[in-house]
Amino acid sequence: MACIYSCDLSLASVGKVVPLVTTSSISSSDSLCSPHCLDKESGVKKPYKQVLNLSSGDPQALSLKPLTFVRQVLAGCLYPTLLHGDTLPADVRQRVQKLLGECAGEGTCEKLQHSISDFISRRDGVASDPDNIYITNGSTAAFMVRIHCSLLSSLTCSLQTGVLTPEPSYNGFKFALAAQGALVVPYYLREEQGWAVQLDELHRAVLTAKGYCNLMALYVINPGNPTGHVQTKDSIKDVIRFAAEERLIIMADEVYQSCMIGEGMEFCSYKRALMEMGAPYSNMVELASINSISKGLMGECGLRGGYVELVNFDPSMKQNIFKLFSAMPCASLMGQIALHVMVDPPRPGQPSYPLYTNVRLEGFSLVLTLGVLNSLPAITWQPVMGGMFAFPRVSFSQAAINYSQVSFTVPIVSSRDVLLYFRTAYHQRFASYLEELLYRVMWRTSTSA
């Protein structure tokens, strides 16, 4: 049977989409990760003082400091009186004056596309056309528009649109697929292979999809979320050749490109690799490259801003995409300003550069503390090369497994305060017998509650 699925977005099926295993059922009034230390139903105080919400990718919610330069520029744009005097550094005042001059009355920064284009050109050493860049109110909006256009282009086919999607993966993308009525066609990243994309697995997934859906696109995440893997240039080129062979659009999620933490690691964008390959690939493979201010060391989730660059798209398809983006809420003005700072940060010699660099280094040190956890007994993971996540494995001794077979009982995990995420939430195999036992017992307890 083909392993192809759609995501049901109803609350009743939330456990099927993201299998959260608790010892009690989830009520409609509870969030998936409640910060409350008081039981909402009984009013009984819970035996802990604080709940850390680790379920989202909001870096600032987990103590990552906002970048001072970003907040100073935002403050100056919102309250230009700050420009009079020395409250703000000189380069901040200059940036604010420039942005205020460029931001039109209708709430858009006219030259933002050109700033993004310049950033991409510096990054890749390849010219970028501002007309191929679309400003969005976040990466999810870019995903939804692109998927919608894939659906439009496959209206002549009776099958649903399918998108090759990595597992483990970013669940928000799968929700975006569900919202557009598309199907997830999973290709699996294996821990024992360092979470790298394997061509034989991509070919297997394509064969699985035949007859079930109309494959239109390949979704890739680089650096990986939640694996922390960073693709090499050779690996990216292999994936591009595969996409060309299968006539698939590449949707490249590159929102963590600023977070390269592996020793000697360098980010290579899909566009750079594509252009280096030359013809015929460089002028035939359709690529949508997505970036956002919400993720990475920028971490400004609440401001909502991002962009997508389209490469080699047919003019008629670009026209449809433009219409769809025009019908959607644009990025907030503050999101656009933050996006401008992301693609044009302080440079060496400017007053804000030393502090900007120090705050970024603090962000890297936050990520590097993962090494401390890696030193704990029984906890291991593949080396984290980039991004903001690690995907750990907890191993148990044979003695612990033997003990669980004899003495493990439901009351051990019957507290309402137990909330566990298993690897199966990302469609991974059980790592051990004990993990499978925990899953089965807790699932049985939750469904019988």
Q: Are residues 104 and 184 in the same domain?
A: yes
**Distances in whole angstroms, Cα of residue 146 to Cα of each of 142, 158, 289, 325, 333:** 6, 20, 11, 10, 23
Query: What residues contact 351, with CB distance under 8 A and at least 6 apart?
Result: 89, 90, 91, 92
Last residue of a domain, one of 313, 343, 373: 343
The count of structural domains within the chain is 2
Residues 105 and 51 in one domain: no
What pairs with residue 235 in β-bridges?
A: none
> Does 270 map to a domain?
yes
**Residue 73 belongs to a domain:** no
Q: Does one domain contain both 293 and 425?
A: no
If asked whether residues 142 and 271 sit together in one domain, one would say: yes
Q: Give 46's contacts (C-beta < 8 A, 6+ positions apart).
A: 36, 37, 38, 39, 417
* pLDDT at site 30: 35
Inside any domain, residue 92: no
Q: What value, to the nearest 5°, has the Cα angle with vertex 67 and ends 65 and 68? A: 110
**Residue 424: how many CB atoms within 10 A of its CB?**
15
Residue 252 lies in a domain: yes
| Inter-CA distances, 381 with 138, 224, 263, 295, 386, Å | 30, 14, 16, 22, 14
Q: Look at residues 283, 280, 339, 299 and name the one whose alpha carbon lies nearest to residue 142.
A: 339
Same domain, 156 and 18: no
DSSP-derived letter for residue 60 is G
Nearest by Cα to 216 from 257, 195, 185, 259: 185
pTM of the model: 0.79
> Helix, strand or coil for residue 233?
helix
Token representation of residue 13? 């099926």
Residues 289 and 223 reside in one and the same domain: yes
Domain stops at, among 343, 358, 386: 343
Same domain, 413 and 301: no
Tokens of 45: 């105080």
Report the SS3 class of residue 143: helix
Tell whether 234 and 314 lie within a shared domain. yes
Same-domain status, 182 and 287? yes
Q: Read off the CATH number of the domain in which 120 is found.
A: 3.40.640.10
**Same domain? 332 vs 223:** yes
Q: How far is CA 61 from CA 57, 300, 341, 364, in A?
A: 9, 10, 21, 16
In a domain, 67, yes or no: no
Whether 432 is covered by a domain: the verdict is yes
Whole-number pLDDT of residue 377: 75
Q: How high is the pLDDT of residue 155?
A: 53
How far apart CA 87 and CA 74 sit, in angstroms, is: 14
Is the same domain home to 327 and 403? no
Residue 27: CB atoms within 10 Å = 9
Q: How far apart are CA 34 and CA 32, in angstroms?
A: 6
Is residue 416 a contact partner of residue 47, using CB atoms and an 8 Å limit?
no
Look at residue 305 in the predicted model and tell me its pLDDT. 86
Most distant CA atoms of the chain, gap in Å: 74
Neighbours of 384 (CB within 10 A): 24
Whether cis (ω within 30° of 0) applies to the bond prior to 315 is no
Instruction: Please check whether residue 402 lies inside any domain of the structure.
Output: yes
Its domain, for residue 406, covers 11-55+395-448
Rounded alpha-carbon distances, angstroms, from residue 1 to 4, 5, 209, 412: 9, 12, 10, 37
Q: For 249, which DSSP code?
A: E
β-strands 393-394, 379-380 pairing: antiparallel
Residue 168: cis peptide before it, omega within 30 degrees of 0: yes
pLDDT per residue of the chain (449 residues) written in tens, 0 to 9:
445 655 544 333 333 333 322 222 333 333 334 444 555 556 677 666 666 665 566 766 666 778 889 999 999 999 999 999 889 999 999 999 999 888 765 566 778 899 999 999 999 999 999 999 988 876 565 555 555 555 555 555 678 889 999 998 887 788 878 877 888 999 999 888 888 999 999 999 999 998 888 899 999 999 988 888 899 999 999 999 999 999 999 999 999 898 887 777 889 999 999 999 999 999 999 999 999 988 777 778 778 888 999 999 988 888 877 777 777 667 788 889 999 999 999 999 999 999 888 876 665 655 555 666 667 777 777 777 877 777 777 777 777 766 665 544 433 333 333 334 455 555 555 444 444 444 444 443 333 44
First vs last Cα of the chain: how many Å apart? 32
CB distance 32 to 20 below 8 Å: yes
**Which two tokens mark 288?**
């949508």
Pairing type for strands 214-221 and 161-167 reads parallel
Comparing CA positions, the residue from 123, 122, 135 lying closest to residue 340 is 135
Last residue of some domain: 317, 343, 369? Answer: 343
Domain match, 20 and 149 both:
no
H-type helices in 218-327, by residue range? 233-246, 270-277, 315-327
Residue 357 falls inside a structural domain: no
pLDDT at site 39: 56
The pLDDT assigned to 104 comes to 62
Predicted local distance difference test score (pLDDT) of residue 432: 46
| Residue linked to tokens 């047919």 | 314
The one-letter amino acid at 215: L
* Distances, alpha carbon 224 to alpha carbons 2, 47, 60, 306, 320, in Å: 25, 36, 20, 18, 30
